[in-house]
Amino acid sequence: MFSLQTIFGKGDKFYGLLEASAGAARRSASALTEFLAQGGGAAKSLDEFRLARQREKKLAAEISEALVNTFVTALEREDIEALSGALYKIPKVIEKFAERYSLVGDRLGDVDFVSRARMLEKACDVLEQMVGQLRSMKLEPMKELNDQLQALENEADRLILELFRDMYRNENDPVRFLLRKDLFEILEKAIDRCRDAGNVVYAIVLKNS
């Protein structure tokens, strides 16, 4: 005799899928740090970012399909969709940065993108921890992680303002100015995407705690 739980399923699979999605985003950020440390520019190196985005897209599609085929979900369906969508955007932005940098990085000389990439990697790491703790729905540990993520995003905002201040005062090459501005804004956008996903996670826990 089958129980209702057997027939309908608990929907626990979504935790695993979302954790895999957060892990893919974090690995994409780690790949970016390595890519920049090695100087970037190689087409082979860009393949890793394309594959990361494709993996994330595949996971998002798997989540959407599971939502159709699962009667009972561990989380509300709109929350699963919102978090899946927010996580998918992270490697997409990272790939965009890598593609742009591979085209123009040699014109920027010693501009330091690595330190910002490491900040992004840290944000993805915190986000991965947050998604991993969704199973427990404990508010205080989640709040601490969310505060860390918000602090990283605030620091990224502060640093880009300092960067722009320096560029407006000291950058004499207009093309180089625009290239630096564009690339740094893409990196900041990636960190913002981590914050957005973290906000979704925190809202889910607030709702269910």
Distance, CA of 178 to CA of 167 (rounded, Å): 10
Tokens of 13: 């699979």
Residue 42 pLDDT level (bands cut at 50, 70, 90): low
Burial class (CB in 10 A: 0-12, 13-18, 19+), 13: middle
Q: Which residue has the tokens 């927010």?
A: 86
Burial class (CB in 10 A: 0-12, 13-18, 19+), 106: exposed
DSSP 71: S
Q: Mind listing the pLDDT tens digit for each residue in 58-71?
A: 888 888 888 888 77
In the chain, % of residues over pLDDT 70: 92
The mean-pLDDT minimum among 38-47, 166-175, 195-204 falls in 38-47
The mean-pLDDT minimum among 2-11, 31-40, 64-73 falls in 2-11
Contact between residue 84 and residue 63 where contact means Cβ atoms under 8 Å apart: yes
Q: Mind listing the pLDDT tens digit for each residue in 85-129?
A: 999 999 999 999 999 998 888 888 788 899 899 999 999 999 999
Listed as own residue / partner, the contacts of 13-18 with beta carbons closer than 8 Å and 24 or more positions apart are 13/66, 13/70, 14/63, 14/66, 14/70, 14/73, 14/74, 14/75, 14/80, 15/74, 15/134, 15/135, 17/59, 17/62, 17/63, 17/66, 17/84, 18/63, 18/80, 18/83, 18/84, 18/87, 18/131, 18/134
Q: Which residue has the tokens 């729905």?
A: 137
* pLDDT number for residue 43: 47
